[in-house]
């Protein structure tokens, strides 16, 4: 028997599907075209499958029958459909009214996936264009500074320049190579006196670490035949820091040599470094990397790519140091080329985002203790109620508790055999971002002699 089965060919298998009644199908299509064709030419052929036997496998049968039905539904049914679709297309192409047609085959699964994809795109578009529903103002209005509003008047004025319900990102450059970014939305509401007023909503915060600008090598700890390399690097870094961070030094000639390394018995190189050399080969690549990384975050969907950013505000301690503490020549050079690098990255990424990188705003943030560009007159709340559902197959000595602060509260199971627990999760307000979040703690008591799995879901 085994030897006979091994001799079966693909042709033998395909003959099993030759019982398709193709003539009757052609007759039905021909009759339909004769009655409803109206002499028009068809530009496309769309074949839609109707899957009436989708639940064949779910019918209660013996194990071997279920397995065979699954194979028939997965493989054999597809063969029949292929034969039928091929016969329909060949028949229609023979008709005089069909020329250069496009063949399209649609299955129920493809239609469901297409419908789900359209719903997803509609939800994404709605999230981008949708306006928040304003219920009532918060008890206290959060301004951009704890001091008088006039202190950051120029910065807060940017909110009025952004289109209502548009988005903006503020990037704060720190001195430890960290950039903190905050995505916000500008909303417009009607005050009690009937006038329109602007406020902001926090959407998302992110931060990332940039590379070290001071010649940090990834191979600095690797063995090297040049014994004086580490000494050379240390001296060069000290020289660069002195030139860049010393504001009192006046640079009259950027071609002036700032560091000479003459050949020594254990060193085979002569190297002369000037201000121009340092700017072109050291600083410019670093600034370009910052600009590319900053703008990429606006484009990538993992961060802010799902939002159309109208404005990018750049500020921070690092920029303040360029203006106030760095050498004037280097500070102006780095400011100008960082701004140019961001503009270049925006053009490369084809983003119509307005860049705000103003010296007055940067200095103002430094003088009056930087606060994020926010004018939050409302707080975000959840429109839905959430709950957690915990399921366990362990019936003995399994209990669920909710952390209520100074004590625990046991959660009662929702079924008689104590294998399922359901508990609502109440939203709470974050003080810093003024947003509602779900933050609950649950504890499980499990019998150590039993090793069973616990499954949890959060629903709404």
**Does the residue 219 lie in any domain?**
yes
Q: Which residue has the tokens 């916000």?
A: 184
Q: How many other CB atoms are there within 10 angstroms of residue 354's CB atom?
A: 15
Reported as a pLDDT band with limits 50, 70 and 90, residue 326 is confident
Last residue of a domain, one of 330, 356, 378: 378
Is the same domain home to 342 and 205?
Answer: yes
| Range 398-403 average pLDDT | 77
**Does the residue 138 lie in any domain?**
no
Instruction: State which of 240-244, 379-383, 422-426, 455-459 shows the largest mean pLDDT.
Output: 240-244
Per DSSP, which regions of 245-342 are E strands?
257-261, 271-274, 309-315
Reported as a pLDDT band with limits 50, 70 and 90, residue 309 is very high
**Does the residue 432 lie in any domain?**
yes
Predicted local confidence at residue 381, as pLDDT = 62
Residue 428 reports pLDDT greater than 70:
no
Predicted local confidence at residue 433, as pLDDT = 47
**Does the residue 134 lie in any domain?**
no
| Range 382-403 average pLDDT | 68
- Point out the least confidently predicted range of 25-39, 260-274, 404-418: 260-274
- Stronger pLDDT, 365 or 234, i.e. the higher one: 365
Predicted local confidence at residue 248, as pLDDT = 60
- Stronger pLDDT, 302 or 418, i.e. the higher one: 302
Is the same domain home to 398 and 364?
Answer: no
What digits encode the pLDDT tens for the residues 145-204? 444 444 467 888 888 889 888 899 999 998 888 889 999 989 888 777 778 888 888 888
**Does the residue 443 lie in any domain?**
yes
- Angle formed by the axes of helices 317-324 and 328-348, to 10°? 140
- Stronger pLDDT, 90 or 39, i.e. the higher one: 90
- Point out the least confidently predicted range of 315-329, 372-386, 446-460: 446-460
Residue 28 reports pLDDT greater than 90:
no
Last residue of a domain, one of 114, 130, 154: 114
**Does the residue 129 lie in any domain?**
no
6-21 burial, b at 16+ Cβ within 10 Å, e below that, comes to eeeeeeeeeeeeeebe
Q: Decide: pTM greater than 0.75.
A: no
Dihedral, 315, 321, 324, 329 alpha carbons, nearest 10: -110
Is the same domain home to 238 and 284?
Answer: yes
Is the same domain home to 365 and 425?
Answer: no
User: Domain range holding 48?
Assistant: 2-114
Which residue(s) pair with 170 in the sheet? 182, 313
- Stronger pLDDT, 31 or 13, i.e. the higher one: 31
- Stronger pLDDT, 334 or 453, i.e. the higher one: 334
What digits encode the pLDDT tens for the residues 340-379? 999 999 999 999 999 999 998 898 888 877 888 888 777 6
Residue 226 reports pLDDT greater than 60:
no
| Range 381-388 average pLDDT | 62
* Percent of the chain with pLDDT strictly greater than 90: 10
Is the same domain home to 390 and 373?
Answer: no
| 3-state secondary structure at position 275 | helix
The rounded mean pLDDT for the chain is 73
**Does the residue 141 lie in any domain?**
no
Predicted local confidence at residue 353, as pLDDT = 92
| 3-state secondary structure at position 62 | coil
What digits encode the pLDDT tens for the residues 73-98? 666 666 777 777 777 777 777 776 55
Predicted local confidence at residue 451, as pLDDT = 53
Is the same domain home to 17 and 98?
Answer: yes
List CB contacts of 360: < 8 A, sequence separation 6 or more. 154
Is the same domain home to 331 and 404?
Answer: no
Is the same domain home to 54 and 158?
Answer: no
CA distances from 227 to 216, 230, 263, 273 (A): 18, 7, 12, 21
Q: In whole angstroms, what is the distance from residue 238 CA to residue 227 CA?
A: 19
| Range 103-124 average pLDDT | 71
Residue 276 reports pLDDT greater than 50:
yes
Is the same domain home to 352 and 272?
Answer: yes
Residue 254 reports pLDDT greater than 50:
yes
Last residue of a domain, one of 90, 114, 138: 114
Predicted local confidence at residue 311, as pLDDT = 93
Is the same domain home to 361 and 413?
Answer: no
Is the same domain home to 225 and 363?
Answer: yes
Is the same domain home to 372 and 294?
Answer: yes
**Does the residue 171 lie in any domain?**
yes
Residue 25: Cβ-neighbour burial (10 angstroms; 0-12, 13-18, 19+) = middle
What digits encode the pLDDT tens for the residues 121-132? 777 666 655 666
For residues 432 and 401, is the Cβ–Cβ distance under 8 A? no
Residue 143 reports pLDDT greater than 50:
no
Domain count, the chain: 3
């Amino acid at each position: 028997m085994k030897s006979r089965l091994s001799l079966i060919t693909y042709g033998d298998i395909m003959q099993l599907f030759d019982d398709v009644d193709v003539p009757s199908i052609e007759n039905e299509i021909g009759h339909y075209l004769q009655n409803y064709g109206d002499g028009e030419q068809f530009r496309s052929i769309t074949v839609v499958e109707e899957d009436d036997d989708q639940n064949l496998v779910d019918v209660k049968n013996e194990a071997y029958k279920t397995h065979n039905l699954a194979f028939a539904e997965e493989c054999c049914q597809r063969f029949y459909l292929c034969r039928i679709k091929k016969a329909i297309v060949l028949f229609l192409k023979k008709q005089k009214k069909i020329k250069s047609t496009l063949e399209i085959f649609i299955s129920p699964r493809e239609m469901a996936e297409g419908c789900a994809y359209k719903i997803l795109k509609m939800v994404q578009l709605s999230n981008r264009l949708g306006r928040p529903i304003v219920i009532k103002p918060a008890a206290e209005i959060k301004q951009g500074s704890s001091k008088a509003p006039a202190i950051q008047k120029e910065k807060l004025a940017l909110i009025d320049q952004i289109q209502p319900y548009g988005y903006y990102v503020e990037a704060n450059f720190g001195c430890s190579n960290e950039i903190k970014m905050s995505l916000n939305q500008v909303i417009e509401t009607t005050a009690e006196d009937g006038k329109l007023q602007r406020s902001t909503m926090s959407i998302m915060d992110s931060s990332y670490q940039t590379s070290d600008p001071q010649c940090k090598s990834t191979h600095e700890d690797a063995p090297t035949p040049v014994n004086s390399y580490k000494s050379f690097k240390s001296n060069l870094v000290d020289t660069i820091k002195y030139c860049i961070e010393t504001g009192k030094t006046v640079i009259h000639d950027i071609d002036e040599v700032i560091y000479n390394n003459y050949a020594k018995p254990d060193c085979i190189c002569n190297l002369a470094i000037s201000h121009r050399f340092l700017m072109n080969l050291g600083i410019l690549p670093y600034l370009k990397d910052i600009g590319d990384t900053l703008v990429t975050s606006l484009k990538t969907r993992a961060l802010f790519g799902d939002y159309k950013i109208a404005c990018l505000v750049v500020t921070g301690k690092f920029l303040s140091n360029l203006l106030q503490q760095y050498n004037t020549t280097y500070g102006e050079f780095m400011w100008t080329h960082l701004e140019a690098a961001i503009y270049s990255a925006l053009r490369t990424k084809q983003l119509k985002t307005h860049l705000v990188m103003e010296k007055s705003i940067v200095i103002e943030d430094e003088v009056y203790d930087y606060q994020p560009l926010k004018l939050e007159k409302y707080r975000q709340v959840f429109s839905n109620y959430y709950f957690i559902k915990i399921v366990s197959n362990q019936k003995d000595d399994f209990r669920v508790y909710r952390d209520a602060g100074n004590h625990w509260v046991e959660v009662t199971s929702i079924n008689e055999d104590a294998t399922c627990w359901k508990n609502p999760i109440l939203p709470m307000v974050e003080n810093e971002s003024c947003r509602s979040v779900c933050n609950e703690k649950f504890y499980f008591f499990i019998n150590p002699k039993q090793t069973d799995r616990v499954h949890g879901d959060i629903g709404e």
